Amino acid sequence: MSMRTDLALESMQRAEASGKLPGIMKHEHRCRDAELTITEVDIDTPEASERIGRPIGRYITVSCMKGRLSDYCENAEQRALCLAREIKRAGELPERVLVAGLGNPSITPDSLGPRAAQGILATRHIKRLAKDLDTSELSEVTVIAAGVMAQTGMESQELIRSVCKESGAQLVIAVDALACAELPHLGSTIQICGTGISPGSGVENARAELSEATLGVPCIAIGVPTVTDCGVIAEISGGRADESYAGMIVTPKDIDQLIARSAQVIALGVNLALHPTLTPAELGMLMS
């Protein structure tokens, strides 16, 4: 049974099991005040990209130094500030941005995108209509929760591309739940990359990709692993999952709390990155 993962870090580690790969740079540092470890993987060559199965680009994995994202955190603001810095490193942030929450809000492990979208500060209407206010320091942000094809009858890519064109967005930030192949990463990491995303690929339900090639503008993808393959559990237990379990996935017991707290820190991190003159406290008031 093959292991499925959306994490570039896991794909790299598995590909390097037989030796170091050329064309890949890995760098790690810590944000101690936020209790986070940041691992950056840069894929620089077509050969490395093919070997790992990821597009050329930068992949940033933000990991909890202890516990998981569902745990109460006294330094949540510091985590959001750290996340904002890493989002800025993933790609240039222009004036007009579309933030898209991907996933099904009715299925808890898949609801990260819509929940995060609820906390994003939409400013496009303010900048266009509030002529008596000075909004020069705010980015022009449009926010949508794209839903899933079973609900809308359309690919998320089609909806996002249409809204992107109508709003004049120069960048898309897509937030989605991910799948991982290693339990330590489940609910404890945030992946940020500037290469876009294929929603559902980690659970073998891949939809049309979101990327600069398909949207016409750059796409930064942000996600948290909320599920893993049941084969991972069997592997850790020293066994091998029967093929009859193919397609079954496992999610944490505290998935509701994981989604709520992950969505909150991602939303605040994105808001801080897009509106750098506002403080976490000011944004917290606007998001509440």
As a three-state string, the secondary structure of 149-205 is: HHHHCCCHHHHHHHHHHHHCCCEEEEEEEEEECCHHHCCCEEEEECCCECCCHHHCC
pLDDT, averaged across the chain:
88
127 phi and psi angles, rounded to 5 deg: -65, -30
Task: Give per-residue pLDDT as tens, 170-182.
Answer: 999 999 999 998 9
Q: What is the pTM of this model?
A: 0.90
Model confidence band, residue 133 (pLDDT cutoffs 50, 70, 90) = confident
Task: Give per-residue pLDDT as tens, 253-288.
Answer: 999 999 999 999 999 999 999 999 988 888 888 776
Question: Is the separation of the CB atoms in 47 and 101 below 8 Å?
Answer: no
* CA pair distance 216, 213, nearest whole angstrom: 6
* CA pair distance 206, 150, nearest whole angstrom: 14
Regarding the domain with residue range 8-276, which homologous superfamily does it belong to in the CATH classification?
HybD-like (3.40.50.1450)
Bridge-based pairing state of the strands 171-180 and 140-147: unpaired
Whether the predicted pLDDT of 76 surpasses 50: yes
Q: Counting Cβ atoms within 10 Å, is residue 241 exposed (0-12), middle (13-18) or buried (19+)?
A: middle
Task: Give per-residue pLDDT as tens, 207-250.
Answer: 688 999 999 999 999 999 999 987 776 666 666 666 666 667 88
Structure tokens at 121: 């500060």
Domain extents for the chain? 8-276
Start-end of H helices in the chain? 8-15, 46-52, 76-90, 112-118, 124-129, 149-152, 156-167, 212-215, 230-236, 255-274, 280-287
Share of residues in the chain with pLDDT > 70 (%): 90
